[in-house]
Amino acid sequence: MRIIGLDPGTYRTGYGIIDVKGSAYLPVSYGCLESKEVRISGRFLSIYDQLKEILSLHKPECSVVESPFLHRNPKVSMQLSEVRGVLILSLAQLGVEIAEYSPLEIKKAIVGYGRADKTQVGKMVKTLLNLPHIPRFNDTSDALAAALCHAQRQKSILAKYQ
Amino acid sequence: MRIIGLDPGTYRTGYGIIDVKGSAYLPVSYGCLESKEVRISGRFLSIYDQLKEILSLHKPECSVVESPFLHRNPKVSMQLSEVRGVLILSLAQLGVEIAEYSPLEIKKAIVGYGRADKTQVGKMVKTLLNLPHIPRFNDTSDALAAALCHAQRQKSILAKYQ
Mutate to test the interface with A, among B44, B76, B91 (most CBs of A within 10 A): B44
Per-residue pLDDT for A161 more than 80?
no
A30/B29 Cα distance (integer angstroms): 45
Q: How many helices (H) and strands (E) does chain A have?
A: 5, 5
The per-residue b/e assignment along A13-37, b for 16 or more CB within 10 angstroms, e otherwise, is bbbbbbbbeeeebebbebbbbbbee
- Tell me: the pLDDT tens digits for A76-117? 889 999 999 999 999 999 999 999 999 999 999 999 888 888
ipTM of this predicted complex? Answer: 0.91
pLDDT at site B76: 87
All domains of chain B, ordered by start, with CATH?
Answer: 2-160 (3.30.420.10)
A2/A18 Cα distance (integer angstroms): 6
The per-residue b/e assignment along B136-148, b for 16 or more CB within 10 angstroms, e otherwise, is ebbbbbbbbbbbb
Rounded mean pLDDT of A45-71? 93
Active site includes A49? no
- Among B44, B68, B92, the residue with its CB nearest the CB of A92 is B44
Helical segments of B2-160, H only: 40-58, 74-93, 103-111, 118-129, 138-160
Task: Find out whether B79 and A81 touch, Cβ atoms under 8 Å.
Answer: yes
CA distance A76 to chain B (A): 10
Mapping DSSP onto H, E and C, the string for A107-140 reads HHHHCCCCCCCHHHHHHHHHHHHCCCCCCCCHHH
pLDDT at site B161: 56
- Tell me: the pLDDT tens digits for A115-150? 888 889 999 999 999 999 999 999 999 999 999 999
> Which regions of chain B are under pLDDT 50?
162
Q: How confident is the model at residue A5 (pLDDT cuts 50, 70, 90)?
A: very high
**Looking at the whole model, is its pTM more than 0.90?**
yes
Mean pLDDT of chain A: 91
Give the side-chain half-sphere CA count within 13 A for A10. 10
Q: How many CB atoms lie within 10 A of CB A62?
A: 17
- The active-site residue out of A66, A100, A117, A142 is A66
Mapping DSSP onto H, E and C, the string for A38-65 reads CCHHHHHHHHHHHHHHHHHHHCCCEEEE
pLDDT at site B75: 86
